[in-house]
Structure 1
Amino acid sequence: MEKYIMEHILVKHQEGALWLTSSLNILQWSRKLITRRYNYETLKKESVEGRRLYSCPDGNAVASVTTILDRTKDKTQLNEWRKRVGEQKAQEITTEAASVGTRMHKFLEDYIDTGDWPAAGSNPFSQQANDMAKVIKEEALTFVSEIWGSEVSLYHPKIYAGT
């Protein structure tokens, strides 16, 4: 009896219909809707001298989180690695890693927005990104019960902003 209760949940659909479903299905079903708890304002962003700045509602322009991290991190080991492998090889590796990361991010974003897992396609980088995103979905997102926004503008007045 306990196993049955843990694995099955009675669900009330938005239209009022009731049905019995597995806990995995309800988790996937609940992902289809992002709970909009706040009115996220879209912040205008611009690039100034290699820095991404956001214009906040209070009129202040603040740096992006990425810009702050890039300007404050120690790049000694990264520069040593570039020298060791050569600039051309380092650029190839960096471009490939950025491509995989962007695709992984997009898979997760699409999943959160729709509740459906996107197909990887035949591109090897896309397949790698999909596999990596699945790990995040299975090892981290299963513990998330509510999502308040995806790719929304957030800021701290006079300090930083980002999406």
Structure 2
Amino acid sequence: MIKKLYEYPELVRVEKNEVRYYRDSKENLVPSVTTILSATGDHSGIDAWKRRVGPIAAQAVVEEATTIGTAVHLAIENYLNGEDWEQFTDDRLGLMAHQIAKRFVDDCLRDIDEVWGLESGLVIDGLYAGTADCIGIFKGLPTIIDFKTAKKIKRKDWIEDYFLQGSAYANAHNVMYETNIESIAILMVDRDLLFKEFLVKNKEFQSYTNKWKQRIIGYYKTHEILGRE
């Protein structure tokens, strides 16, 4: 399954003014994809939720989700690399992560035909950088593949930023390696072990690419000089 067609760079991460940057090939600092999306997105819904539940409860929810998500991602990466993936803590979150990862391994990864890279660094000099979960062939198409855990399966219209992130990575890969990736797969498993596949390609992919370009423009209108040394 692993087919190393490309040499992906090891990105150097830098935290500056509480913002995540990466160094591009010219040693400039460029914002991460998630930094751009966060700076240009609508946070009204999540801000209202934080006010409703309170900062302590909100932080606990975020930390729990992060712990589960990190463990599941590591397990999937190990599985796709042909390594032992069943390494979890014995506490509640570890057991939950194990169940979710097992659902991925047993039922949700079968359409991945080739893996070109896992946790692969991608960068467009002077613009942005980030790390893609998985790059390869999905259902016969070159695809950016992202693995998501969720408390409950989300509606497609709630997760636009996932597709914008995927289009950012696809376009960076196309620039770096002269590929033609126009497919994004979001594979999501929730805590009830329900699985949902979101696949965008062709005209829908182009639509997200155009929206991503607008987000870049919006970011640099107010952040143009940040991240440069």
Q: Calculate the TM-score normalised by the size of structure 2.
A: 0.52
Over residues 47-98 of structure 1, what are the superposed CA-to-partner deviations in whole Å (9 max), with x where a residue is unaligned?
Answer: 1112211112144432111211221221111111111112211111111111
Residues of 2 paired with 1:60 and 1:105: CA distance? 29
1:104 matched to which residue of 2? 72
Residues of 2 paired with 1:71 and 1:137: CA distance? 34
Tell me the SS of whatever aligns to 1:152: strand
Which letter does structure 2 place at the counterpart of 1:147?
A: V
Identity of aligned residues (%): 34
Instruction: Within 5 Å, give how 1:1-163 maps onto structure 2.
Output: 30=1, 34-163=2-131
Seen in structure 2, the aligned counterparts of structure 1 residues 39 and 50 have a Cα distance that, compared at 3 Å, is same
Residues of 1 paired with 2:80 and 2:27: CA distance? 31
Q: CA deviation at 1:133?
A: 2.1
Seen in structure 2, the aligned counterparts of structure 1 residues 56 and 99 have a Cα distance that, compared at 3 Å, is same
Tell me the SS of whatever aligns to 1:162: strand
Unaligned runs of 5+ in 2: 132-229
Seen in structure 2, the aligned counterparts of structure 1 residues 42 and 139 have a Cα distance that, compared at 3 Å, is same
Residues of 1 paired with 2:127 and 2:106: CA distance? 34
Tell me the SS of whatever aligns to 2:3: coil
Aligned 8 A contact 2:13 2:21 in 1: yes
Tell me the SS of whatever aligns to 2:120: coil
Tell me the SS of whatever aligns to 1:38: coil
Q: CA deviation at 1:115?
A: 4.3
Q: CA deviation at 1:121?
A: 4.2
Q: CA deviation at 1:116?
A: 3.7
Q: CA deviation at 1:125?
A: 0.4
Residues of 2 paired with 1:68 and 1:133: CA distance? 29
Tell me the SS of whatever aligns to 1:161: strand
Asked which structure has the greater CA Rg, the reply is: 1
Which letter does structure 2 place at the counterpart of 1:150?
A: L
Over aligned residue pairs, what C-alpha RMSD do you find? Answer: 1.9
Aligned residues: 131
Tell me the SS of whatever aligns to 2:85: coil
Seen in structure 2, the aligned counterparts of structure 1 residues 58 and 92 have a Cα distance that, compared at 3 Å, is same
Q: CA deviation at 1:102?
A: 1.2
Between 41-50 and 131-140, the greater mean CA deviation after superposition: 131-140
Residues of 2 paired with 1:135 and 1:54: CA distance? 33
Which letter does structure 1 place at the counterpart of 2:38?
A: D
Which letter does structure 2 place at the counterpart of 1:88?
A: I
Aligned 8 A contact 2:20 2:35 in 1: yes
Tell me the SS of whatever aligns to 1:47: strand
Unaligned runs of 5+ in 1: 1-29
